[in-house]
């Protein structure tokens, strides 16, 4: 059975806080396409609060539910791929505010992985049409233009 570590290698993910469990890959129809969904969990103990900067001491920051986001990922094999990340949410006892675990794989409040952004930029430097790049990287033409 592949381990979480193997999955990270297959997907070129260096963030060790992203954990993959057994049977984390499934196929489903999405936007009329047969797509691959890869499920993983993002969790760690934050060292400080993202809002007030208070260091995490004596459990001053505690786990507070989770939030799942679906991120467009580069095609693996021949199937459009989405990474479903279940992100840990935290609450700070000092400022009473909540925040979500973050990962370098994707910017906060963005649903397109940084890998896709990099692929769009590489393709764009080869002077290819916006429509072609959009088709190949599975994002909209508007996103290609914006990047």
- For residue 55, state whether it binds Zn ion (rule: CB under 5 A): no
Q: What is the DSSP letter of 132?
A: H
- For residue 94, state whether it binds Zn ion (rule: CB under 5 A): yes
Q: Which of 28, 45, 52, 110 binds Zn ion (CB under 5 A)?
A: 52
Residues ≥6 apart with Cβ < 8 Å to 16 = 8
- For residue 51, state whether it binds Zn ion (rule: CB under 5 A): yes
Please classify residue 102 by burial: count the beta carbons closer than 10 Å to its beta carbon, then call 0-12 exposed, 13-18 middle and 19+ buried: middle
Three-state SS at 95: coil
Identify which of residues 50 and 75 has a Cβ nearer to Zn ion in the complex: 50
- For residue 90, state whether it binds Zn ion (rule: CB under 5 A): no
Q: Which two tokens stand for residue 32?
A: 């009329």
- For residue 93, state whether it binds Zn ion (rule: CB under 5 A): no
Binding site for Zn ion (CB under 5 A): 49, 51-52, 54, 92, 94-95
């Amino acid at each position: 059975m592949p381990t979480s570590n193997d999955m990270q290698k297959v997907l070129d993910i260096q963030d060790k806080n992203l954990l993959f469990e057994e049977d984390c890959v499934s196929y489903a129809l999405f936007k009329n396409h047969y797509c691959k969904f890869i499920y993983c969990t993002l969790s760690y103990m934050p060292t400080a609060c993202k809002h007030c900067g208070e260091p995490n001491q004596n459990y001053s920051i505690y786990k507070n539910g989770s939030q799942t986001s679906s991120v467009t990922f580069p095609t693996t094999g021949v199937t459009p791929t989405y990474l479903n990340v279940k992100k840990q949410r935290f609450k700070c006892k000092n400022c009473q505010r909540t925040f979500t675990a973050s990962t370098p794989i994707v910017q906060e409040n963005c649903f397109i992985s940084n890998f896709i952004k990099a692929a769009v930029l590489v393709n764009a430097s080869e002077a290819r049409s916006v429509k072609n790049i959009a088709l190949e990287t599975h994002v909209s033409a508007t996103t290609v233009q914006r990047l």
